[in-house]
């Protein structure tokens, strides 16, 4: 029996992600949690004749704890999205507290859940997640994932366009680092099957992968950021993880994780000089079974991108760790 929870389920990502999870044969119980509208979304989804049983909870009567209780997987797209002109870091002040609160609830009632963090800024909300769990002495790095799949999905799409490939999903494009602007490092030299990116298109392609989120924010013109492509990406990662938990082999997807807590990750963390970092992760029954080192064969341009990414990541990580460890605010 697999119980999957979506926290932020009534939102732009939450609703289509919940729909996809409701259609999945890998989910037996789908629980929707949000501060608004989950009874309606749950009632709506529950009429779909797929297997998963659906329930929705609001904060009243400790709804978050009832929702999270004994969950196997908790996917978190709760929090505010960007408007034009904002960076993901501008979301920190609101979303950091939201994620912290949700993780505290998860720690209490679902300490073994796999936690998939979508809420931005991912570069900081994942360190918050890890630190909250560490302070409660239940942190298992193999079970905490920052969802960066949308960067991979975008890279597949944009590379396929440039390389003239008709099946973007047939490409594997490693994207490492973090999830914001220059912290996103696409490794086009390691695309399989191999593709040739013309020199005069390389910089624009890197920029498009790094700033694809801004493209959507601008096009939505004040009405939020990527939701449908993110729901797809979030579902893709969740589905792979669920298959791996059930024993499927050979499933790999990049994710932003705490490297020192994952087999193979300590050496990568030493090389890059940060502990939270996205690399391809081999998934299995324990979650993140192995961090794959793709740093060996970088081109000179990729090395330059990586240096810039690490510089940006350091501050983002520190900010999350500090926030998680600050004493609770005094109520006046
Ligand atoms: P949205 O505003 O449409 O939905 C967010 C939902 O979260 C709302 O329904 C809101 O009520 C809910 N919420 C707020 N506080 C909550 C709490 N304490 N508990 C539970 N639910 C709560 O926003 P969206 O477009 O769905 O985006 C959600 C987040 O995902 C944003 O932070 C956005 O930046 C991020 N995002 C991340 C990626 C990624 O690649 N990781 C991609 C797109 C968006
Ligand atoms: C994205 O990459 O689309 C998300 O992180 C949302 C955003 O703010 O760009």
- Model confidence pLDDT, tens digit, residues 117-163: 999 999 999 999 999 999 999 999 999 999 999 999 999 999 999 98
Is the pLDDT at 330 greater than 70? The verdict is no
Q: What's residue 165's pLDDT? A: 87
CA of 101 to the centre of ligand 1 (A): 14
Could you report the per-residue pLDDT of 86-113, keeping only the tens digit for each?
Answer: 999 999 999 999 999 999 999 999 999 9
Could you report the per-residue pLDDT of 272-321, keeping only the tens digit for each?
Answer: 999 999 999 999 999 999 999 999 989 999 999 999 999 999 999 999 99
Summarize the confidence of residues 322-328 as an average pLDDT: 87
Q: What's residue 121's pLDDT? A: 98
Q: What's residue 166's pLDDT? A: 87
Average pLDDT value over all residues in the chain:
97
Catalytic residue among 82, 100, 179, 236: 179
Task: Kindly report the protein residue whose alpha carbon is nearest to atom 8 of ligand 2.
Answer: 82
- Give percent of the chain above pLDDT 90: 96
pTM for the full model?
Answer: 0.98
Dihedral over Cα of 232, 238, 241, 247: its sign:
negative
Task: Specify which residues 284 forms β-bridges with.
Answer: 287
Check if 171 has its Cβ closer than 6 Å to any atom of ligand 1.
no
Neighbour-count burial for 264-276, b at 16+ CB within 10 Å, e otherwise: bbeebbeebebbb
CA distance 190 to 199: 16
CA distance 49 to 319: 45
CA distance 262 to 297: 22
Q: What's residue 331's pLDDT? A: 61
Q: Which of 11, 37, 56, 92 to mutate to test ligand 1, by most ligand atoms within 8 A of the CB atom? A: 11
* 179 counts as catalytic: yes
CA distance 230 to 250: 24
* Ligand 2 atom, smallest distance to 214 CA: 9
Summarize the confidence of residues 30-50 as an average pLDDT: 98
CA distance 11 to 155: 25
Q: What's residue 328's pLDDT? A: 67
Summarize the confidence of residues 231-260 as an average pLDDT: 98
Q: What is the CA radius of gyration of the chain?
A: 19
Q: What's residue 332's pLDDT? A: 62
Q: What's residue 40's pLDDT? A: 98
- Cβ-based burial of 37 (10 A; exposed 0-12, middle 13-18, buried ≥19): middle
CA of 225 to the centre of ligand 2 (A): 6
Is the pLDDT at 327 greater than 80? The verdict is no
Check if 210 has its Cβ closer than 6 Å to any atom of ligand 2.
no
CB atoms within 10 A of CB 307: 12
Q: Enumerate residues 6+ apart whose C-beta is below 8 A from 64.
A: 7, 33, 57, 101, 102, 105
Could you report the per-residue pLDDT of 183-221, keeping only the tens digit for each?
Answer: 999 999 999 999 999 999 999 999 999 999 999 999 999
């Amino acid at each position: 029996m697999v119980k999957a929870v979506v926290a932020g389920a009534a939102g732009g990502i939450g609703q289509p992600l919940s729909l996809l999870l409701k259609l999945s044969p890998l989910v037996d119980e789908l629980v929707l949690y949000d501060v608004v509208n989950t009874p309606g979304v749950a009632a709506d989804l529950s009429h779909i004749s797929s297997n998963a049983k659906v329930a929705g909870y609001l904060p009243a009567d400790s709804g978050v704890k009832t929702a999270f209780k004994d969950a196997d997987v908790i996917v978190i797209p709760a929090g505010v999205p960007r408007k034009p002109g904002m960076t993901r870091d501008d979301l920190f002040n609101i979303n950091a507290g939201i994620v912290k609160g949700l993780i505290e609830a998860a720690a209490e009632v679902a300490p073994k859940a796999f936690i998939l963090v979508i809420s931005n800024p991912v570069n900081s909300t994942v360190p918050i997640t890890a630190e909250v769990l560490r302070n409660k002495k239940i942190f298992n790095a193999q079970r905490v994932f920052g969802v960066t799949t949308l960067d991979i999905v975008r890279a597949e799409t944009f590379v396929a366009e440039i390389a003239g490939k008709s099946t973007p999903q047939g490409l594997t494009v490693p994207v490492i680092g973090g999830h914001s602007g220059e912290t996103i490092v696409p490794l086009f030299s390691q695309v399989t099957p191999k593709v040739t990116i013309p020199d005069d298109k390389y910089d624009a392609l890197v920029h498009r992968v790094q700033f694809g989120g801004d493209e959507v924010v601008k096009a939505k013109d004040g009405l939020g950021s990527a939701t449908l492509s993110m729901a797809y990406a979030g579902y893709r990662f969740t589905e792979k993880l669920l298959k791996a938990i059930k024993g499927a082999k050979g499933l790999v997807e990049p994710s932003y994780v705490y490297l020192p807590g994952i087999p193979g990750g300590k050496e990568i963390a030493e090389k890059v000089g940060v502990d939270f970092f996205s690399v391809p992760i081999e998934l299995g029954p324990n979650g993140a079974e192995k961090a794959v080192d793709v740093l060996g064969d970088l081109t000179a341009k990729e090395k330059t991108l990586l240096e810039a990414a690490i510089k940006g990541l350091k501050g983002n990580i520190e900010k999350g760790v500090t926030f998680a460890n600050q004493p609770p605010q005094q109520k006046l």
